[in-house]
Structure formats: structure tokens, C-alpha cells
Amino acid sequence: MQKNSEQNRYTFEGRIRFSEVDHTKKITLPGIINYFQDCSIFHSEDLGVGIDYCAEHGRAWVLSAWQVAVERYPMLGEKISVSTWATKFEGLFGTRNFLMTDEKQQTAAYANSVWVYMDARKGRPAKPDEHEITRYGTAEPLPMEYAPRKIALPGQFEDGEAFPVRRYHIDTNEHVNNCQYVQMALEGLAEETEIRKLRVEYKKSAVYGDIIYPQYAREDERTVAKLCDRAGKPYAVVEFRA
């Protein structure tokens, strides 16, 4: 494997679009997540191990957990820089950091993510090939407080209103897009709150036609949402902190 190197960071430049902001002219939380997600896709595509490569080889990197921290929400029209890099490969897992900065090189948001490499044809985890790992290389992890992959659940939840998975929720894997779970969970919050910390634990993939049964628990410092199937088993668990 390549040694840690700043050369293994991937960066692209962007500008906050009207379609990415809310009524305050600030980018939304899903907007930030989409920038991070797009950055990781661009990274893989430019390394030659992107969507078509994975489809041809029956492989996929599946997101297992997000941890996102927002220092501030950039405004409409602001120019930003988004970076990503792998920090570790271990067995079936890989970890990846993300960073969004403004024109003054000040941090707007950052994140850690945990991924599982899957044999898409057999539907089970698989160890990535050494040449795939070597293409990414690794770089030093961000100096942040790393939370556990699993989210501790409150004792009691309240049921929200069930809704179906729509076509616009689906991505190229024929599953609900990772960011869409966050958007779904946000819809059920009691009031508009500027989220500063987000964690998501992905349990299983929802597909078109599934019905999502949301459940919410509110504590002093956090709100936890479970997006469940009819039997109450979660597709994803989402934790918000202001």
C-alpha cells in the first residue's frame, strides 16, 4: 500500500447554488452531504475504479456510517473547496475523511465515514483487491473527535407518519441514496433547527416501493430517528445535534 501522502487527497472546487440553499440562503445539511458524496464519487471515477468499474466487477463500496460536523453553513454564491481522502483500509472496511472550506481556507464542515466493500453479485462483504487499495492510498486522518460507528438508542420512540420510497430517492445501485435517509429524517423534526452534528448508521438498503415507518426520540442534547420497515427493523438510524 502507498504510504500516507497529501497527494492522496482529492479536491474539487464548487460554488453554492440556488438549488442547494433553503429560505435563509444557506446551504442545507443534505446539500453539504451531497458535496461530500459527489467528491468521493469523483475521486473513484478519476482513479478508474468508479461506478462502471464496480458494475463490471460486481463490487461496490457501501456506506456503513456517517459522522458530519458543521462549523457554519456557506451562503448562496460562496465559492468552496471540497476534499476527500482514504485514511485506512482494514479487512473488509475502509474509512474516508471529508473537508469543506471557504475562499479564506476556513473550515465550513468536515466528516468521517466508514465503508464496507461488497460482492454485489453474492450480496456479502468481500476483501478489496490490493491494486484497488493502492490506487486510493491513504492520508492522515482529520484531528477530530471520532464517534463510534453504532449509535446508542434511547429507550422510547414515538411513531411518525409512514411514507413510500419514491423513484427520486433511488441511486445507481437501485437503493435509496445515502443522503435521502437524512432528508427523510429531517422532515420529521418538530421544529426547524440548525444542525451542527450528524451521525448516520446504515443498517440495510431500502428500495423503490418499500414503505418507511419513521420513529423519533428526543433527548436534551439530541434527536434520534429510526427509519424502519413494517416489522420495525431500521434501514437507517440518524442522530441530530444542534
DSSP β-bridge partners for residue 201:
65, 237
Where does the chain hold its CATH 3.10.129.10 domain(s)? 6-136, 158-241
Residue given cell 429531517 in the structure block: 186
Sign of CA dihedral 27, 29, 32, 37: negative
Are 17 and 80 in contact by the 8 Å Cβ rule? The answer is: no
Residue 220 DSSP label? S
Rounded distance between C-alpha atoms, residue 132 and residue 148, angstroms = 26
DSSP alpha helix (H) spans, 5-157: 29-47, 51-57, 130-136
pLDDT attached to residue 10: 97
Rounded distance between C-alpha atoms, residue 45 and residue 80, angstroms = 21
CATH superfamily, domain at 6-136: Hotdog Thioesterase (3.10.129.10)
The tens place of each residue's pLDDT in the chain, 242 residues long, gives 344 467 899 999 999 999 999 999 999 999 999 999 999 999 999 999 999 999 999 999 999 999 999 999 999 999 999 999 999 999 999 999 999 999 999 999 999 999 999 998 998 999 998 988 999 999 999 999 999 999 999 999 999 999 999 999 999 989 999 999 999 999 989 788 899 999 999 999 999 999 999 999 999 899 999 999 999 999 999 999 99
Distances (CA, A) of 90 to 37, 49, 57, 226: 21, 18, 21, 28
Rounded distance between C-alpha atoms, residue 14 and residue 24, angstroms = 20
pLDDT attached to residue 5: 67
pLDDT attached to residue 225: 98
At what angle are helices 178-187 and 29-47 packed, to 10 degrees?
180
**Cα-Cα-Cα-Cα dihedral of 130, 135, 140, 144, to 10°?**
-90
Task: Provide the grid cell at 193.
Answer: 433547527
Distances (CA, A) of 81 to 15, 34, 78, 102, 223: 8, 13, 10, 6, 30
Of 3.40.309.10, 1.25.40.420, 1.10.3720.10, 3.10.129.10, which CATH number belongs to 158-241? 3.10.129.10
Rounded distance between C-alpha atoms, residue 236 and residue 229, angstroms = 10
